[in-house]
Amino acid sequence: MDLKYHKVRDYHERGEFEVRYCPSTDMLADIFTKSLGPTLFRKFRQQLNVMPIPVAVEEDIAASLRAS
């Protein structure tokens, strides 16, 4: 048996950490690892304090890239 498994089990038995179920709808890391629907994408984006680029700014950036 893997030694790491026993070490983790020992830590858990000593109360050094707690294992809890976390539903997929609360897994913030999923925004980086999965293709999400629009509702979860917006929820996680907001939790990361990332704001969408307004369309006008996006168009200005594209125009300046084409000009250079």
- What is residue 1's predicted lDDT score, i.e. its pLDDT? 60
Residue spans of the chain under pLDDT 70 = 1
- Taking the mean position of all CA atoms in its chain, how far away is CA 27? 7
Sequence ranges of the domains in the chain: 22-68
DSSP assigned state of 49: T
Q: What SS3 state is found at 5?
A: helix
Whether the full predicted model's pTM is greater than 0.85, yes or no, is no
The 10s digit of each residue's pLDDT in 26-43 is 999 999 999 999 999 999
